[in-house]
Amino acid sequence: MVRHFEQDLDALRGLVLQMGGAAEAIVQKSVEALKRRDAALCKEVIADDRMLDRMEIDIEERCVSLLARQQPMAGDLRFITAALKISNDLERVGDHAVNIAENAQRLAAEPPLKPLVDIPRMADLASGMLREALDAFVRGDAHRARKLCERDDLVDDLNDQLFRELLTYMIEKPENVTRAMELILVARNLERVADLATNVAEEVVFIAEARIIKHNVEEMVSGQRRDEDFGRT
Amino acid sequence: MTSASGRPVVPPRAPAPPAGPPVLATRDFHLYYGPVHALKGVSLEVLERSVTAVIGPSGCGKSTLLRTFNRMNDLIPGVRTEGQILFGSIDILDRGTDVVELRRRVGMVFQRPNPFPKSIFENVAFGLRMLGLKNRGELEARIEQSLRRAALWEEVKDRLDRSALQLSGGQQQRMCIARCLAIEPEVILMDEPASALDPTATARIEELILDLKAAYTIVIVTHNMQQAARISDRTAFMLDGKLVEVDDTTALFTNPRQKLTEEYITGRFG
C-alpha cells in the first residue's frame, strides 16, 4: 500500500532534484556566455533564473502544506525542513549565475583581458559539487556529502590565485582595472556557488544522520562523532 | 512584474478549483433539542467527491450537524428544526421525502463499529437483501466488490461465513464501510470512524477514505484535527452550535481567517 503521503514526499524529492539540475545548468550556461562573449546566452540565463524562483516558491508552498497537514516526524520532518533550505540555496545559485551573466555582458563589450583558465575550472568544480550534493541527497549518502566539502578548499584556492593574478594586471595598467574587477566578481560568484553546494551537503547530512555539521569544516571532513546529535543533550 | 529588488514577483498560486458542485447544503439551519439551541444558523456546502471534515470542541454540534444530512435526528424525541437541508436541489426536510431511500443514498458509519451478530457475508448482504436482491450470484459479486472497495476482501475472502464479531476492531469498521458501500450510496457520513481504533487501524481507515473520495462524497466528523488536516479537502470549524469558518484545508490550517479558528487549531483554547 503506497501511502498518499509517500507520494507527496516522492513528488517533493523529484522537484528538488529538478531544481538542482536547473541550478547546475544555469551556472554552466552563465560561464559559457562569458567564454563565448554571447549576449543572447546572457539573456537566457536571466530567464532561467526566473524559473528557479518559481520552483523555490512551489517547493516552499508544498513544504508548508505538508508540515501543516501531515505532522511529519523523524526522517520525514528532517527531509521536509531540509528541502525548504536546499531550495533556498539553489535559488541563490541562480542569482549568482545571473550576476555572472551580467558581468559577461559588460565584458563582451570590451576586448578580452586574458584567456580564461581559472574561471572555467572554478565553474566545473562548483557545478560538479552541486551535482555531487544532489546525488548525495537522492541516496541519503552522508559520507558522500561530507567528502564533497573538501573540494570547497580547491575552489577557494583558485579564487585567491585568480585574485592575485588580476591584481598584477590592475597594477600594470589602469585601463585593465574595469575588466579585471569584472573577472574578480565572476570568480567571487563561483566561489559562492561552491559554498552553497556545501550548504546543500550539510543539509543532506542532517537528513541522513540528524547531525548539524554547519560552521565546522574540520568535523565534517573527519566525520568524527560529536555531541551534535539532534535533539539529544 | 518585479519587486523593488528587481527579482520577479510570482503571483500566489490560485486555490485549486472546488471538487464539484455542492451535493449537500444546509441553508441557515437551526436545530433545537427541546429548549437547547444546538445548531445556530448553519450554512454549509459539501462538494461532490471530496472529503469535508467538521472539527470543533466537544458539544459544538458537529455530530448533530452530521445527523441532519440523513435525518437521523428524526429518531431523537423533541427535535425541532428551521431552515433547509438540500440534497442536490431537493429539500430533504420536505414532508414527502422518502427517508429510507435518503438513508440509502446518504450512508453512515459510526464511531463504534456495529457489525450485526451474523457472518461477514450476511452483514454485507443485509442491505442488498432488504432492497430485494435475491440472486445468489449477483449478491456474491456485489459483496466481493464492496469488500474490495473497503480494502478488506483479501483478509476475509476465505472466511466469509465466519462471524463478523470475530474480526478485529479495524476490520469490523472496514466491514461496516463495505456494508454501507454495498447499497451504492452517493454520500458517506462518518462520525469519528477511527476514534475507537488503534493507530495502525486508524491509518488504514484514513488511506481508505483518501481512496474512496474518487467515487464518493464524504463528510467526516472528527475531534482529531490532525486527522482532518491529513485527509480532508475542506474543513469546517464549529463552535457552540455555529459554523465559524469553512475553507480549503491547507488554507484553514496555515492561514485561518477567523481569530477563533486560529486559537482553536493552535491549542490556545479555554
The string of pLDDT tens digits covering residues B47-79 is 999 999 999 999 999 999 999 999 999 999 999
pLDDT over 90 (residue B30): yes
Q: Give me the residue spans of the domains in chain A.
A: 4-222
* Every domain of chain B and the residues it spans: 22-91+98-265
Nearest CB among B10, B207, B226 relative to A3 is that of B207
Planar angle of CA A219, A129, A185, nearest 5 degrees: 105
| CB contact (8 A) between residue B226 and residue A54 | no
**Which residue of B13, B210, B254 is in closest CB contact with A68?**
B254
For the segment(s) B22-91+98-265, the CATH number from 3.30.70.1560, 3.40.50.300, 3.40.50.1220, 3.30.565.10 is: 3.40.50.300
- Do B226 and A71 count as a contact with CB atoms less than 8 A apart? yes
pLDDT at B6 > cutoff 50 = no
Query: Is the CB of B226 less than 8 angstroms away from the CB of A1?
Result: no
Query: Long-range contacts made by residues A111-116, C-beta under 8 angstroms, separation at least 24?
Result: A112/A37, A112/A179, A113/A169, A113/A176, A113/A179, A113/A180, A113/A183, A114/A169, A116/A34, A116/A35
Separation of alpha carbons A77 and B9, rounded Å: 29
Asked whether residue B14 carries a pLDDT value surpassing 50, the answer given is no
Q: In what order do the strands lie in the sheet with B51-55?
A: B106-109, B187-191, B217-221, B51-55, B234-239, B242-248
Estimate the crossing angle of helix A4-36 against helix A74-108, to 10 degrees: 20
Query: Cβ–Cβ of A53/B7 closer than 8 Å?
Result: yes
pTM over 0.80: yes
Place of cell 582595472: A177
Chain B nearest C-alpha distance from A71 (Å): 7
**Would you place residue B29 in the very low, low, confident or very high pLDDT band (cuts 50, 70, 90)?**
very high
Considering only CB atoms, A54 lies closest to which of B10, B203, B229, namely B10
Interface confidence: ipTM more than 0.90: no
pLDDT of residue A157: 96
Confidence (pLDDT) at A3: 84
User: 3-state secondary structure string, B190-254?
Assistant: EECCCCCCCHHHHHHHHHHHHHHCCCCEEEEECCCHHHHHHHCCEEEEEECCEEEEEEEHHHHHH
Probe site for chain B from A2, A4, A96 (most B CB atoms < 10 A): A4
Do the chains contact at A68 and B8, CB–CB below 8 Å? Answer: no
Using the Cα atoms of residue B110, residue B112, residue B117 and residue B121 in order, give the sign of their dihedral: positive
- Strand pairing class (B51-55; B106-109): unpaired
Return the higher-pLDDT residue of A213 and B115.
B115
Q: Do B249 and A69 touch (CB under 8 A)?
A: yes
Query: What's residue A214's pLDDT?
Result: 79
Q: Cα separation of B204 and B151, whole Å?
A: 9
- On whether any CB of chain A is under 8 Å from the CB of B249, the answer is yes
Residue B192 · residue B111 · CB < 8 Å: yes
Q: Does domain A4-222 bear CATH number 3.10.50.40?
A: no
Ordered mean pLDDT values, 10 residues apiece, chain A (233 residues) = 84 97 97 96 96 97 95 92 97 98 96 94 96 94 91 94 96 96 97 97 92 68 55 60
Per-residue pLDDT of B195-225, as tens digits, reads 999 999 999 999 999 999 999 999 999 999 9
Return the percentage of chain B with pLDDT > 90, whole number: 89
